[in-house]
Structure 1
Amino acid sequence: MIAAAAAPLADTTLGQAADAFLHRRDLDADTLRSYGQTLARLRAALGDGVLLSDLTAEHTAAVFAEAWAQAAPRTWNRHRAALRSFTAWTAPRWGAPDLTALIERRKEDSDATKVIDRHLIEALWQRRDLPLRDKALFRLLYESAARSVEVLGLDVSDIVPEAKRGRVRRKGGATDWILWQSGTARLLPRLLSGRTSGPLFLTDRRPGPARTPAAVDLCPVTGRARLSYERAEYLFKQATTPIDPTGHGYTLHQLRHSRLTHLGEDGWSSSMLMALSGHRNLRTLGIYVQPSTEAVAAALAEHDPGRRRR
């Protein structure tokens, strides 16, 4: 840890500034979680008591080199963006320096293979070894094209099973409906098993006394807690490792990406896709609806003048 020098009481520490930054009301849950991860690593490495005036770009660059040197470019850039936001927020308040001055943005290679093939997704629904909760979660995520944090934040009281919809808080704070199809609708009654309140998706076991979550994240019937994003991501990677050519398993975000791509290939308009997914900007939607290699190959084959016709 960096030793905090003697300073007037008016001086602000890293811990105080981080707490104030993370308690802003304009941060949605997803952004808050991401920023919190970055600042937690900085606080653990540098110490909550270090004064902002004592921090330098060299200190934060060293933390990044130790923590994320081997991380993927996208992960590195995400933590860098979080630190840039923190610096931009603290600078006009306490005169904090630019803590990202020595942390360069890494080039992200575009990956045109991230869409999961339709046949692999369909095979996933047919698997008999998947627990009911996991299959319901994965299917709801795909059919609704919703963000993972939105679906995991659902309570039983938020869903209207007969209408195949659920009320969520979108990125940015707006309240909206997500929609699903019959595949999810057939699984939810079995998942609920008579529950009328509490989180929709629950952990396998009750939390220990030292890790008791907030009451809103506990099921009053089973005593189990709301399933976390990290655990859900792990479960999906484990479930899809056998079908992923890389052998690493797919991510929950790829379900959303794949759904929007598949619907785009099927002729859905941009406005319909935005209404389903909760996007508010055509530019951000565009990266999800590029036709897959398989779809382009099929279209070329269909219009190949040398193709043999039956």
Structure 2
Amino acid sequence: MERRADELGAAAPAGPVLGEAAEAFLSRDDLDPATSRSYGQTLRRLRRTLGDRQPLASLTADQVTRVFTTTWGEAAAATWNRHRAAVRSFGTWASLDDLAAGLDRRAGTRPRARPLDPAQLDAVWSLPDLPLREETLWRLLYESGAGTTAVLSLNVEDLDLDDRRARSLGAWVSWRSGTARLLPRLLAGRTRGPVFLSDRRPGPARTPGASDLCPDTGRRRLSYERAEYLFKQATRPLDPARDGYTLRRLKPPHRDR
């Protein structure tokens, strides 16, 4: 047993490791909550694939390229570039060689989303057994014309229910009567934390930062990926292609986001 303990001690990595460095990087005061969440998605994938005990000094651009190719090889340009920017920022902070050296920036080719027409919107609002959270989120996206990230970043304490507006990511998000009718029911007396919450509490290994956790319920902020998935699943029967609509199509036709 002593020999085994010596072997384990000898195998312990010298210097900082990936998991610890990622936590330190994301906990910086100069990162706003939205950026921290975005960067955290990228670094969580690296940590899961390479391991938290990966010595930081041995992390290479080739390893990062393999993770990106496997995980986001078929992703849209915007998604690929967002993860690429995150790993570049992390590498610069950690004083490593360019971790994105093997990752070319992709040109955006996604066509502009066509807003749902009035008949399609009526069908969305008429979906049976529509959960309160989804109905409120979709109404707010439509009435405000704001981006999904900005709306999901809203906190209860930032809402001005009387004036029907809130500040998010440096811009105002305003809404109309449909959202105003739903918001008080969704909040149910909550005064702090994210407006839109996940269905369940996170496990011990996936606890988010305090800014993304509701202090009253213990649930985390609803993610963009989950919100998009639920909208596509709910609208699949309404879509002639049976793919389901994307949240970007809730944009009012007369507004720019």
User: What is the TM-score with the length of structure 1 in the denominator?
Assistant: 0.64
Match of 1:139 in 2: 139
CA distance in 1, matches of 2:18, 2:143: 43
Residue 55 (structure 1) aligned with residue 59 (structure 2):
yes
Which moved further from structure 2: 78-87 or 134-143? Answer: 78-87
Match of 2:3 in 1: none
Q: 1:219 to 1:64 in 2, by over 3 A?
A: closer
Match of 1:151 in 2: 151
Cα deviation for residue 201 of structure 1 reads: 3.6
Equivalence map 1:295-310=2 (5 Å)? none
CA distance in 1, matches of 2:154, 2:140: 11
Cα deviation for residue 161 of structure 1 reads: 3.0
CA distance in 2, matches of 1:228, 1:34: 13
CA distance in 1, matches of 2:202, 2:167: 28
The amino acid of 2:20's aligned partner reads Q
Match of 2:90 in 1: 86
The amino acid of 1:90's aligned partner reads A
Residue 181 (structure 1) aligned with residue 176 (structure 2):
yes
Unaligned runs of 5+ in 1: 265-272, 274-287, 289-310
CA distance in 2, matches of 1:249, 1:151: 21
Q: Deviations over 1:154-189 (max 9, x none)?
A: 454443333222x3341xxx4x64211122223334
Residue 22 (structure 1) aligned with residue 26 (structure 2):
yes
CA RMSD of aligned residues (A): 3.4
Q: Deviations over 1:72-100 (max 9, x none)?
A: 34333322222122223323xxxx11122
Cα deviation for residue 253 of structure 1 reads: 4.1
Q: 1:241 to 1:12 in 2, by over 3 A?
A: same
Match of 2:227 in 1: 232
CA contact under 8 A between 2:115 and 2:248: conserved in structure 1? no
Residue 102 (structure 1) aligned with residue 102 (structure 2):
yes
CA distance in 2, matches of 1:232, 1:147: 13
Instruction: Determine which structure has more spread, i.e. the larger CA radius of gyration.
Output: 1
Q: 1:212 to 1:83 in 2, by over 3 A?
A: closer
Match of 1:34 in 2: 38
Cα deviation for residue 133 of structure 1 reads: 2.7
CA contact under 8 A between 1:203 and 1:224: conserved in structure 2? no
Match of 1:46 in 2: 50
The amino acid of 1:37's aligned partner reads Q
CA distance in 2, matches of 1:19, 1:86: 11
- Report the identity percentage: 48
CA distance in 2, matches of 1:88, 1:236: 37
Q: Deviations over 1:254-299 (max 9, x none)?
A: 43xx23xx224xxxxxxxx6xxxxxxxxxxxxxx5xxxxxxxxxxx
Specify the SS of the correspondent of 2:167: strand
Specify the SS of the correspondent of 1:162: coil
CA distance in 1, matches of 2:58, 2:207: 37
Specify the SS of the correspondent of 1:263: coil
User: What is the TM-score with the length of structure 2 in the denominator?
Assistant: 0.76
Q: Tell me the number of residue pairs that the alignment of Structure 1 and Structure 2 aligns.
A: 243
Unaligned runs of 5+ in 2: 1-9
CA distance in 2, matches of 1:48, 1:209: 18
